[in-house]
Amino acid sequence: MNLIKKIIQNTSLQIISKILSTILGLVAIAFVARALGTEQFGWYTTSTSFMQFVGILADFGFMLITSQMLSQGQFEQNKLLNTLFTWRLITAGLLYGLAGGLIWLFPYQLEIKLATTIVSFSFFFITLNQVFTGYFQHRLKMIIPAIGEVLGRVFLVIGVLIIYFGNFTEVFLKLVILIPLASLVFFLFLYKNSPKIKLEIDREITKTAFSKMWPLAISIIFNAFYLLGDRIILPLYVTQTDVGLYGASYRVLDILLQIIALSMAILLPLLSASWAKQKLEEFKERMQLSFDLLALTTFPMIAGVIALSTSIMTFVAGSQFESSGKILFILTFAVIGIYLGQLGGHLMLAMNKQKKSLIVFALTALFGTIAYFIFIPKFGVWGAAGVSIATETFAGLILVSLSMYHAKYIPKLLTLFKILLSSVCMGVAVYYIPSSHVLISVLYGMVIYTGLIFLLQAVQTKTLKELFNKSE
């Protein structure tokens, strides 16, 4: 089996599991939103956003560094995994323990503080998963983390349904407790299917890992301020009902972000391997592949969500969240910048040029944080959404420009143009063609988009046959 065929098969399995996981996540959010209502969903958003912010600060790039170092083959695999996991355990324990106590200094309701402390355990387990996920990225076996995620989601959905239909009183904290339990299920599955891990620290591996990690860690810290700054600052100036409406729209948007991140996580080890071996033509081919494959899934999702934003929010969260559709409509434009940022950021990492990106993240974080404090007090959720679009677009354009400069390659845009045209036509069609249900609109939108892609030969049948029939 050649490499491209292996990538396609691995990606196909992941897409199937990701679709299932996404459906389960939507089911969980749908019943959580209906059970809590807009105000208490605001509590939920505030607590989870606080820990997501800490989670980004605690990231340090362990997943990407694990995948990259395994691809380079400089150290023995088990010793490398042991060392990285040990450091991940130490850093996660310290930071989430600190965050669980820090929340009590904020002027939030008691329920929000309790929920944040409980949710910290969920993010602790998710953080530990990063080393395992990096290992499976390297082995092109991302199906294993995907299955683990599905199992965690199944547990979560079952728990949510029991609470929702059980007519329990004071359901907020009961629902929150399910979150770390679902993450624990995910963690235990990865732990069982990964190489045997023991706690040890190798000095040489530590030195090499942290030398690669520190610029990435700093950039990730800067990212936290403009990726989650809106959801951290927003509760200080608006009602928890507005926070709930904004948070519900972001829950839908997160689906798009997960798919983009998943696609780049698959391609990163291949880009890193080509650059490390200085196979520059191969690297450029894979760079072009990254631009095209990511666009193939990202832009139709953007067009579809923009066209159906209000219907999507009503379907997902219920009629109480109908006004979230307008927020989702605006926020979706930020995904264009995220598409560029993910491409540029991962390409810079693959080329070991992540230090060159620091100034971009620093400026974006500074600009974003100042802008949030200016526009959120004046315009509330609309100020938060506007600044999110501006910061993502700014960072994305600069990062992708830097990656092209260092790779000395400008991707061909013909395929991207065909994908954009197909996406816009599909979006217009689903907006103007009435249907009895949003899922029917999604279904015929997929049919229209697929037909246009093949009609415009953005993806050619001959090329797909060659990819699947080539031998190594």
Write out the DSSP string of 250-307. Answer: HHHHHHHHHHHHHHHHHHHHHHHHHHHTT-HHHHHHHHHHHHHHHHHHHHHHHHHHHH
Q: Per 3-state DSSP, what percentage of the chain is helix, strand, and coil (rounded to 5)?
A: 85, 0, 15
pLDDT of residue 472: 40
Nearest to 125 by CA among 143, 98, 152, 105: 152
**DSSP 8-state symbol, 170:** S
For residue 462, is it within any domain?
Answer: no
Q: Is the Cβ–Cβ distance between 250 and 228 less than 8 Å?
A: no
Contact 86, 203 (CB under 8 A): no
Residue listed under structure tokens 């190594």: 472
Say what the pLDDT of residue 73 is. 64
Instruction: Report the distance separating Cα 141 and Cα 321, nearest Å.
Output: 38
pTM of the model: 0.78
Instruction: State how far the alpha carbon of 84 is from the alpha carbons of 143, 184, 352, 435, in Å.
Output: 22, 20, 19, 51
Note the pLDDT of residue 74.
67
Q: Provide the H-helix boundaries in 408-459.
A: 414-432, 438-455
**Structural domain of residue 101, as residue ranges?**
3-411
| SS3 state of residue 337 | helix
Please check whether residue 445 lies inside any domain of the structure: no
459 in a domain, yes or no?
no
Q: Is residue 332 part of a domain?
A: yes
Q: Is residue 427 included in any domain, yes or no?
A: no
Which pLDDT tens digit goes with each residue over 402-444? 989 988 888 888 888 999 999 999 999 999 988 888 989 999 9
Q: What angle do CA 238, 243, 249 make, to 5 degrees?
A: 140
The predicted structure's pLDDT at residue 470 = 39
Domain count, the chain: 1
Quick one: pLDDT at residue 466?
Answer: 41
Residue 466 lies in a domain: no
CA 403 to chain centre: 21
Is 455 among the domain residues?
no
- Which pLDDT score is estimated for 95? 84
| The pLDDT value given to residue 8 | 59
User: Does residue 301 come out as left (phi exceeding 0), alpha (psi in the -120 to 50 range) or beta?
Assistant: alpha
**Residue spans of the chain under pLDDT 70:** 1-15, 60-64, 67-68, 71-74, 138-140, 216, 460-472
User: Is the residue at 456 inside a domain?
Assistant: no
Report in angstroms the alpha-carbon separations of 333 from 225, 306, 328, 386, 391.
19, 8, 9, 9, 12
User: Rounded to whole angstroms, how far apart are CA atoms 269 and 146?
Assistant: 18
Cβ-Cβ contacts under 8 Å for 35 (sequence gap 6 or more):
160, 163, 164, 171, 175
| pLDDT score, position 373 | 94
- Give the integer Cα–Cα distance in Å for 433 and 391: 34
> Is the dihedral angle over the CA atoms 96, 101, 107, 112 positive or is it negative?
positive
